[in-house]
Amino acid sequence: MERRFEGFVFDMDGLLIDSERAVLRCWEQIGRENGLEGITEFALSVIGQNSEETNRRFIARYGEDLPVESFRQQTRDTFKAMLGNGQIDLKPYALEIIKALKAEGYKVALASSTSRHSVEDEMKVLGTYPYLDVLVCGDEVVNSKPDPEIFLKACSKLGLTPDKCCGFEDSYNGIRSCKAAGLFTVMVPDILPSTEETDRLADLIVADLGEAMKKLGIGIS
């Protein structure tokens, strides 16, 4: 790869961690237990957004009488148990791409809508934490994705301008955020397929991170 980029910024859920389906199952269980119509559609619509924005949209849709934070805590507790039991894995090539980038001297950041406490726990359990130079998490920004704030902050903490960075995302909100921030934007679809909008916004769309490595020349001598 031509040394076009100096830094790489990754989303976490659905991109580095195979977590979106597990979280969706948690939401669907809550929906069944509480008679919430359209919970699957709602859960898909907030992929990539932080807790504050998810809670706001939940209340707007289902009303203030439901204990949204209690629901969210149930999903967090269930996910944490699954992680501890080895039921949550990295996505294919996730560790390989980050290790290859570090070996080649690039700076690597994580820009996740998840809270810092959870991000650190998950990255440490799954073995990627030592290869990350910078973490920017959902509870450390004012505006949730699709606002570009989280990617801009990640680039700033890396000491790089966005045009020197390549960002990886799987969600619609994440792609909008990354592109608006001015990074070269790579989409690796997970639970959500690419759309006409993301086809237009993304600079590169690949099936998995292994294909991204090949297309970008990462780890290939």
Other CB atoms within 10 Å distance of the CB of residue 41: 9
Fold of 7-18+90-216: Rossmann fold (3.40.50)
Q: What pLDDT score does 220 carry?
A: 65
Q: What pLDDT score does 4 carry?
A: 83
Q: What pLDDT score does 1 carry?
A: 45
Find the mean pLDDT for residues 130-157. Answer: 97
CA distance 163 to 51: 29
Structure tokens of 102? 């570090």
Cβ burial of 151 (10 Å; 0-12, 13-18, 19+) is buried
Q: Does residue 200 have a pLDDT over 50?
A: yes
Q: Provide the pLDDT confidence category of residue 71 given band limits of 50, 70 and 90.
A: confident
Beta bridge partners of 7: 107, 165
Domain range annotation of the chain: 7-18+90-216, 20-84
Per-residue three-class SS string for the chain = CCCCCCEEEECCECCCECCHHHHHHHHHHHHHHHCCCCHHHHHHHCCCCCHHHHHHHHHHHHCCCCCHHHHHHHHHHHHHHHHHCCCCCECCCHHHHHHHHHHCCCEEEEEECCCHHHHHHHHHHHCCHHHCCEEEEHHHCCCCCCCCHHHHHHHHHHCCCHHHEEEEECCHHHHHHHHHHCCEEEECCCCCCCCHHHHHHCCEECCCHHHHHHHHCCCCC
Count Cβ neighbours within 10 Å for each residue of 207-217 and write b for 16 or more, e otherwise: eebbbbbeebe
Q: What percent of the chain has pLDDT over 90?
A: 77
φ, ψ (nearest 5 deg) of residue 188: -120, 90
Q: Does residue 221 have a pLDDT over 60?
A: no
Closest CA to 97 of 189, 212, 221: 212
- Give ∠ CA 137-193-145 in degrees, rounded to 5: 25
Task: Answer with the residue of higher pLDDT: 79 or 189.
Answer: 189
Q: Does residue 34 have a pLDDT over 90?
A: no
pLDDT (tens digit per residue) in 38-58: 999 999 999 888 888 999 999
Structure tokens of 85? 């039991």
Q: What pLDDT score does 3 carry?
A: 52
Q: What percent of the chain has pLDDT over 70?
A: 98
pLDDT (tens digit per residue) in 78-131: 888 989 999 999 999 999 999 999 999 999 999 999 999 999 999 999 999 999
